Structure 1
Amino acid sequence: MAFLADALKRVKPSATITLTQKARDLKATGKDVISLSVGEPDFDTPDNIKNAAIEAIRRGETKYTPVAGIPELRQAVAAKFKRENGLDYKWQNTIVSTGGKHVIYNALLATLNPGDEVICVAPYWVSYPEMVALCGGVATFATAYQKDDFKLQPEELERAITPKTKWVILNSPSNPSGAAYTHAEMKALTDVLMKHPHVWVLTDDMYEHLVYGDFTFVTPAQVEPNLYDRTLTMNGVSKAYAMTGWRIGYAAGPDHLIKAMDMVQGQQTSGTSAISQWAAVEALNGTQEHLPKFKKAFERRRDLVVSMLNQTRGLKCPKPEGAFYVYPSVAELMGKTAPSGKKLETDEDFVLELLNTEGVAAVHGSSFGLGPNMRISYATSDEKLEEACKRIQRFCAELR
């Protein structure tokens, strides 16, 4: 349709949202559906955070906020980066946006010129390349292979960098694979970036607190302080605090970048919800006593799902270090025929047949840039996960 912008031709709808909606539609017809397609903790927001929001409403904190966020939250963000990541930022070098996605979009919009390249590490979160395209840039790809536990190797990063590269987006722990980088693994990547001073680093640290066992989280500017002046460190409260619907993301970076993002945001959305910001102040400054409970539950669920999937015919599922996703390979099942008579030629065929036959919603790996795999979110109850895995086992056993 000529009325619509040409930019829309460069962008695909989000596969995760599409699959989640398909699952909802099937459920509405009365089918018993277990959705493992959405990246959202099933826990409720902790009470201290909810109470802080209620108190903010009662105090009358219901007006417009400064574009880059209320000073109290920006100070809490700077304190968090110092306390947890060893990163020194003035509060004026922070920004608060309507979710982590909004932070990333603002950074890209404020910096990309036509033809500028942004390296996305496959498998990548579905929105990265689409946001790059909307902002006029070109998404390029560096692959993190299953044989390397979905962790980008330095030679792959080196190969992906060109004179046109402006950003590399590093997401650890990863959506969709759950892979997280140790200090040594991250240092190998930052060593490559030190050789290319024109390349900036955009971190997506949204799953920082969801790491398991004795794994220690690190972020690029912490590992290589010489990258500090060309790194935007992004995080948010959605996952670790079960605050997906509150829509608060935040970042810290060099002064000129934060000012540019502030200007973009000022003409786009202005400041985010005052009530959500006061809730986020409590999330960052208040008790963290919910976190061990969240982590214990997610680790138990990860172990259950990995074990059951690896007992499933034709599936191979690495055990990730963090987030709440697994990314099993379905390569051995390609070419087989589903009970419906449909031949499985792609991982999208696989997840659609799984949904229609067994009522289990997952997301096909090719939408994250690396297949044939599927992403399963284990952010739901043990009972649902066990039943879903039994259905997956049955579906795979019946393929011919």
Structure 2
Amino acid sequence: MAFLSAAVTRINPSATIAVTQRARELAAQGRDVISLGSGQPDFDTPDNIKDAARDALARGETKYTPVAGIPELRRAVADKFKRENGLCYDPADTIVSSGGKQIISNAMLATVDEGDEVIIPAPHWVSYPELVCLCGGTPVILSTSLEANFKIRPEDLERAITSKTKWFIFNSPSNPSGVAYTENELKSLTAVLLRYPHVWVLVDDIYEHLVYDDFKFKTIAQVEPRLADRTLTMNGVSKAYAMTGWRIGYAAGPSQLIKAMEKVQSQLTSGPCSIAQWAAVEALNGPQDYIKRSRVAFQERRDLVVSMLNQAKFINCPKPEGAFYVFPSCRGAIGTRTPSGRVIQSDKDFVTELLNAEGVAVVHGAAFGLSPNFRISYAASLSDLRSACERIQRFCGSLRSS
């Protein structure tokens, strides 16, 4: 339509939300659908956090809050970064937003102009390049491979940096692959970034607490403190505490950047929900037992899904170190034919036919910038995951060479 802005025509709808909505529609029609497209824990928010929200309501904490968050939550954020990551921030150098997505949006709107480049490793979360495009910037996608464990090498990063590079967006553990970078791998990347002082770093640590086996999480500014003055470290309560609907993300970084992000937020949304902020204070300051329990449950689910997918014809599924996703390759299925005669020509075809034939909703890899793969969220019950994997095995077994 002629009245639409250039900005809105540069972006696409969220593929993960679209898949989840399609699964809901089919279920409403009576289809037996297992939806593995949504990136949210299936557990309930812990009781102590819900109790804190009720207490806040009882106290009448229902008014507008300061734009960057209530002082108690900004202090809790600063304390969390110090306690868990060894990062020293004043509460004034933190910001609280309505979800992690708004943190990224604020940062891009505050800093990115037309022609600026933002380096994004692929596979990547669906919203990173879209938010860059919304601001008129240019996403520079660094593709990886299953053989490289979906990780970029320092030489890949260095080749991508130009005089126009404004940001490097980094997510570990990763959505959609679940891979996490070791301390030594991070050091190899920070050594490159130190040579380019004009490049800022946006670190998305939203899956920090969801790491498995003996993996030790580290964040970039912790590994290389000399980058702290141009690093925005963001996190949130959604994944770690099963609080996706509460919509609280937070970040810390250089004062000038935080103030600019606060300025943007003041005109877009103002402060986040007051009750959700008080719940987040309890999440960060209160008992952390839930994190340990959920980590054990997610690891069991990961191991089941990886094992069963690798028993499926045409599928190659690496075992990720973190998050609650797997990103298997369906390369072997490309060119095969379904029982109905449809030729699978892409990962989008693969997931579409899987949904039609077996009622399993997953997200195609092209949505995350890398094909031919698909993403499964194993934030679902063991019984649903087992049934879904059996259906995927059956679907793959039905495919024939064309």
TM-score by length of 1: 0.99
Q: Is the 8 A contact 1:143 1:156 kept in 2?
A: no
Partner of 1:268: 268
Partner of 2:395: 395
Partner of 1:210: 210
Aligned residues: 400
Partner of 1:170: 170
Partner of 1:198: 198
1:340 Cα shift?
Answer: 2.3
Distance 1:169 1:69 in 2: 24
Partner of 2:239: 239
Distance 2:141 2:159 in 1: 10
Structure 1 portions without partners, runs of 5+: none
Distance 1:280 1:337 in 2: 50
Q: Residue deviations 1:66-122, cap 9 Å, x none? A: 000000000000000000000000000000000000000000000011100111110
Partner of 2:303: 303
Identity of aligned residues (%): 67
Partner of 2:66: 66
Q: Is the 8 A contact 1:313 1:396 kept in 2?
A: yes
Distance 1:171 1:251 in 2: 14
Q: Residue deviations 1:5-44, cap 9 Å, x none? A: 1212211111111111111111111010000100010000
SS class of match (1:139): strand
Moved more, 13-22 or 61-70: 13-22
Q: Residue deviations 1:313-353, cap 9 Å, x none? A: 01000000000000000001100011222110010000000
- The one-letter amino acid of 1:155's match is E
- The one-letter amino acid of 1:209's match is H
Partner of 1:179: 179
- The one-letter amino acid of 1:96's match is V
SS class of match (2:268): coil
Q: Residue deviations 1:353-384, cap 9 Å, x none? A: 00010000000001100010000000000000
- Does residue 248 of structure 2 align to residue 248 of structure 1? yes
1:142 Cα shift?
Answer: 1.1
Q: Please, what is the CA RMSD of the aligned residues?
A: 0.6
Distance 2:341 2:241 in 1: 44
1:144 Cα shift?
Answer: 2.5
Partner of 1:150: 150
Distance 1:9 1:101 in 2: 19
- The one-letter amino acid of 1:330's match is C
Distance 1:272 1:336 in 2: 49
Distance 1:60 1:340 in 2: 60
SS class of match (1:146): coil
Q: Residue deviations 1:138-172, cap 9 Å, x none? A: 11111222111111111111111111000000000
Moved more, 142-151 or 36-45: 142-151
Moved over 6 A (4+): none
Structure 2 portions without partners, runs of 5+: none
Distance 1:156 1:142 in 2: 7
Structure 1 residues 222-371: aligned runs within 5 Å: 222-371=222-371
- The one-letter amino acid of 2:18's match is T
- Does residue 368 of structure 2 align to residue 375 of structure 1? no
Partner of 2:112: 112
Distance 2:340 2:63 in 1: 56
- Does residue 161 of structure 2 align to residue 161 of structure 1? yes
SS class of match (2:20): helix
